[in-house]
Structure 1
Amino acid sequence: MIPDETLYRRYLGGDDEGLNALMERHGDRLTLYLDGCLHDTHEAEDVMIEAFARLIASRPDIRDGGFRAYLYKTARRLALRLLARRRARQTFSLDELTEEPEGRELVEQTVQAAESGRILRACMAELRPDYREALFLVYFEGLSHAEAAAVMGKWEKQVADLVYRGRNALRKRLEQEGISHAHE
């Protein structure tokens, strides 16, 4: 597999296929990550596209091994801004409460087909947000602790602690749900 940074350099050199390959490789997983923050698939897709648009517009110099961390950090910042704007204009509405669960169910059905997957997702949703984010970046996205730290704006040791504590909290939740083989 061609490294992300090589594809990115190809794009910078004028080969649009490099960018297409990066979007194909990271688009769905980045959207899934953002949906965990935003709880809205359509907004997550919009933020994913905006993160790539920022990459296109700014054309940053990315060091080897840093592409995915840069992309996720950019997307995370955009999602946090969106959440802040959402909170600033948020008013309580029963309409929103009736529409949101259907969207969540659709996402869960699409992303997690198996029962154990749905339980995992539900247990992940109950974790502290920083635990959930650290676990997602390290285990689902395969980022190193250093890369996850760059995305989250934390020290590498802090991420290691979050992963350790999050894994223990998730294990306890899974055991409460009857999944006793919840190991690392």
Structure 2
Amino acid sequence: MTCLPIQLRYWKTHFGLEALEGEPESEALVEQVIQTSEQRRILHFCMEQLKWDYREALYHVYFEGMSFAEAAYLMGKSEKQIADLVYRGRKALKKNLEKEGITDAKS
């Protein structure tokens, strides 16, 4: 046996081209990456168009994973106000996304 580092020996013995079978074509991967980055760009653009409090509530609840109570504490509002802001913010965001050609947005 050769004196290869453990990592190199592991790679050499466990890598094979058979593992690449069934992988999507590179063109499909590139297309998917482009589509994902374009969707993110559109989402950020549409979020910027929202009222500040809608954007803030949506960000805390959906991107930060906060509960309505946590977002309410952070924003100095009641849970009911946060629920209303999230509801209205989602509707406004959906409308903005539809203007940008995203028609499968869920409210």
Shift of 1:115: 0.3
Q: CA RMSD, aligned part only?
A: 0.9
Match for residue 177 of structure 1 among 77, 100, 104: 100
TM-score, scaled to structure 2: 0.66
Higher relative contact order, structure no. (Cα contacts within 8 Å, ≥ 6 residues apart): 2
Q: Which structure: greater helix fraction?
A: 1
In the TM superposition, structure 1's runs of 4+ consecutive aligned residues that sit over 2 Å from their partners are none
TM-score, scaled to structure 1: 0.38
Shift of 1:180: 0.2
Partner of 1:159: 82
Structure 2 unaligned blocks of 5 or more? 1-35
Secondary structure at 1:180's aligned position in 2?
coil
Q: Distance in 1 between matches of 2:62 and 2:39?
A: 16
When the two structures are aligned, how many residues end up with a matched partner?
Answer: 72
Partner of 2:64: 141
Identity of counterpart residues, as a percentage?
A: 64
2:89 is aligned with what amino acid?
Answer: G
Q: Distance in 2 between matches of 1:148 and 1:136?
A: 9
